[in-house]
């Protein structure tokens, strides 16, 4: 059987992320950050306009509707709020008013808004740490859907918001943002793909798993059944070259655990790696694993040709 990676790779250097792809990746991250920041900016505008109608900072206490925003401006995160009682929340807001807003004089509305945005900025920073992975998953999902559409193959998808499997939509626009899985049929078997699945055999979370079952039959029993796994692999969406090696070390460890755990049961499911930031040394290591048959397929997520070839292979397993 021909090695699947040879359909889009000729040598290790082919896996390397180009400078142009790296720049494009950083731009996409910046745009995503702005998209996620938009609701926070809108809230800040409302808070500033509301505060600007008041005579003094203490009047803020008379508007219950902005109490959550006052807590945010006081430096209390949404997560921390759940651990505070009413007295703690009141003390935090009073501290904000007495220590920062009153000294700001007639500029207290601006001071309030800046402090609100400061805390929301921390929240945004936390969410952005997971943004690259989410964007990578979206790109792969949209590529899979496109492959099904082009080939005329029916598919179903798992809607994370509705928490239910859905049929093929009239329009695919935006479904990758809510997609938590895909299901389709080969010539003789059912396939179900899931993201971020804890595999009992490996005792770790696996980025991508493909099972030999329908969504209706997908269950805890299937997860425990090593023979139900068709393919397992790692998807790393970070684009920063400085973090590429760390992402690869994590993925390589996960792939080794997969091979060892399934090997103990005499099983050899398909294994793969697909990443956005692949540097020279990392590319060499991946290529060596491919050549040694310890990894079956690999691709650079930022390369259209490689991604399309990889997706076609995955859909035909």
Phi, psi of 268 (to 5 degrees): -135, 75
Strands 179-185 and 164-166: unpaired
Report pLDDT for 155. Answer: 97
CATH 3.10.20.30 for the 130-315 domain, yes or no: no
pLDDT tens, position by position, for the chain (317 residues)? 579 999 999 999 999 999 999 999 999 999 999 999 999 999 999 999 999 999 999 999 999 999 999 999 999 988 888 899 999 999 999 999 999 999 999 999 999 999 999 999 888 887 787 888 999 999 999 999 999 999 999 999 999 999 999 999 999 999 999 999 999 999 889 999 999 999 999 999 999 999 999 999 999 999 999 999 999 999 999 999 998 999 999 999 999 999 999 999 999 999 999 999 999 999 999 999 999 999 999 999 999 999 999 999 999 99
Superfamily name and number for 36-127: Restriction endonuclease BsobI, helical domain (1.10.238.90)
- Largest separation between any pair of C-alpha atoms in the chain: 78
Q: Residue ranges per domain, the chain? A: 36-127, 130-315
Tell me the per-residue pLDDT of 2-49, one tens digit each, with 9 for 90 and over. Answer: 799 999 999 999 999 999 999 999 999 999 999 999 999 999 999 999
* 18, 24, 30, 34 alpha-carbon torsion, rounded to 10°: -160
If we measure between CA atoms, which residue out of 40, 251, 249, 39 comes closest to residue 136?
A: 251
Hey, which bits of 237-283 come out as E strands?
Answer: 270-275
Q: What is the pTM of this model?
A: 0.85
CB 22 within 8 A of CB 294: no
| H or E segment to which residue 166 belongs | strand 164-166
Report pLDDT for 1. Answer: 59
Give bridge partners of residue 41 from the DSSP assignment: none
DSSP per-residue codes, 32-76: HHHHHHHHHHHHHHHHHHHHHT-SSGGGGGG-GGGHHHHHHHTT-
Report pLDDT for 273. Answer: 98
C-alpha–C-alpha distance, residues 220 and 200, integer Å:
9
36-127 shares its CATH topology with 130-315: no
CB 259 within 8 A of CB 285: no
């Amino acid at each position: 059987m021909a090695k699947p990676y040879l359909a889009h790779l000729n040598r290790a250097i082919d896996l390397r992320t180009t400078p142009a792809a790296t720049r494009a990746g950083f731009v996409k991250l910046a745009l995503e950050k702005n998209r996620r920041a938009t609701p926070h900016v809108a809230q800040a505008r409302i808070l500033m306009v509301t505060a600007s109608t008041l005579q003094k900072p203490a009047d803020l206490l008379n508007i219950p509707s902005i109490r959550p925003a006052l807590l945010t401006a006081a430096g209390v995160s949404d997560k921390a709020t759940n651990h505070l009682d009413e007295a703690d929340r009141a003390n935090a807001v009073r501290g904000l008013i007495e220590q920062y807003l009153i000294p700001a004089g007639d500029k207290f509305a601006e001071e309030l808004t800046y402090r609100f945005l400061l805390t929301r900025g921390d929240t945004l920073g936390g969410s952005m740490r997971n943004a690259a992975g989410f964007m990578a998953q979206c790109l792969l999902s949209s590529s899979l859907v496109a492959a099904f559409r082009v080939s005329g193959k029916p598919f179903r998808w798992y809607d994370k918001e509705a928490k239910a499997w859905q049929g093929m939509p009239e329009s695919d626009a935006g479904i990758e943002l809510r997609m938590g899985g895909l299901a389709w049929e080969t010539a003789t078997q059912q396939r179900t793909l899931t993201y971020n699945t804890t595999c009992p055999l490996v005792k770790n979370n696996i980025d991508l798993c493909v099972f030999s079952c329908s969504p209706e039959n997908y269950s805890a029993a299937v997860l425990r059944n090593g023979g139900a796994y068709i393919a397992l692999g790692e998807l790393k969406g970070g684009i920063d070259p400085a973090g590429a090696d760390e992402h690869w070390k994590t993925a390589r460890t996960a792939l080794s655990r997969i091979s060892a755990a399934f090997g103990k049961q005499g099983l050899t499911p398909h294994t793969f790696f697909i990443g956005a930031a692949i540097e020279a040394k990392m590319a060499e290591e991946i290529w060596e694993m491919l050549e040694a048959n310890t990894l079956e397929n690999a691709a650079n997520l930022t390369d259209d040709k490689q991604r399309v070839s990889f997706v076609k292979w995955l859909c035909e397993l």
